[in-house]
Structure 1
């Protein structure tokens, strides 16, 4: 019988399936550094406050719909299990129906590091196989610096990544220095970005 309400369980991190193609590896690295600084009790508290929302899919696989960066960082730090919040049981539906429901609920983001959409089959089967999108790292860096506010819109930081992707040349994106951040902060607060979730720029007269 399908679960009607979210359920809290524990799952093996290496067996969780992602619902996107990319992460920002610079952001993953930053999360690893944060994790290394935590003591044992602080690590337990961090995990308890970061339930991985997921959907139970065909063949009993769990698909996480958030915390991909944290998940990859934890895998690289050899963490084996994490708490899961099961949002919905779709294990009884056909794969095509499963992905249609995931897409309808905005629980999947099948876009590559160029912002191009792919088929659902292109999504990696494991978190460790996620590819790098440096613009996603930049989007996270700008948010943490106060360039825009955290928003509950699904995959909102990928929207910001696409915004920066069209305005900052690819040969400049790997230079994560102050010049790049200043340019990105100016763009984030510009009127061009006012349609994006969490925009915190000045209101035009």
Structure 2
């Protein structure tokens, strides 16, 4: 499996969830030796090569950032597509057409591709992105292969729930969001499982 330095990975999104990253970083730091190597190997980063053969991560930004914070400097990647011969404009158009990028800030406003960060660990915190992951982990919806599903759920919660500030508030918010995720209001979102019978 091809390895790449995390510092070389270019992000294709503007935000990530700091709570999720802290939890993943703690998990990686608790491992060592073979266990750590296996944990790293099971989450290779899918990449697309862009102009000047720069590697763009199209998923697992949280994993890459958590590994970086855990002082792991390289990780395995899987090449999805080589778009290095395209112009910068053609590259980003192709990335959008394939839903391999999410150029929106935590406020839902679009960000210019020229303003996207250079490194995965520089992304802005979006509490609702952490909330969407926590709701999925709590059984509020199922993980699917739909691109950017966590962002769709984050935007759904953003329009309906206030954001918490403390860890206690966040846990209560997750419980509330799980109920919301199973309500008819979420019908049509990827991984929707509906109310329990």
TM range (shorter): over 0.9
1:175 is the counterpart of 2:166: yes
- For structure 1, the 5+ residue unaligned runs are 1-7
- For structure 2, the 5+ residue unaligned runs are none
Normalised to the residue count of structure 1, the TM-score between the two structures is 0.91
CA contact (8 A) 1:52 1:64 kept: yes
Match of 1:14 in 2: 7
CA RMSD of aligned residues (A): 1.4
User: Which deviations, in whole Å up to 9, do the C-alpha atoms of 1:120-170 show, x marking residues without a partner?
Assistant: 122211112101000000111111011110111111011000000001124
CA distance in 2, matches of 1:128, 1:49: 20
Runs of 4+ in 1 over 4 A off after TM superposition: none
Normalised to the residue count of structure 2, the TM-score between the two structures is 0.94
Match of 1:3 in 2: none
SS in 2 for 1:149: coil
User: Which deviations, in whole Å up to 9, do the C-alpha atoms of 1:7-30 show, x marking residues without a partner?
Assistant: x52111011100000000000001
CA distance in 2, matches of 1:179, 1:16: 35
Match of 1:94 in 2: 87
SS in 1 for 2:79: strand
2:51 paired residue among 54, 58, 65: 58
1:115 is the counterpart of 2:78: no
Match of 2:130 in 1: 137
User: Which deviations, in whole Å up to 9, do the C-alpha atoms of 1:18-76 show, x marking residues without a partner?
Assistant: 00000000000010111122231111111211110000110121000000001111111
SS in 2 for 1:45: helix
Match of 1:188 in 2: 181
Match of 1:5 in 2: none
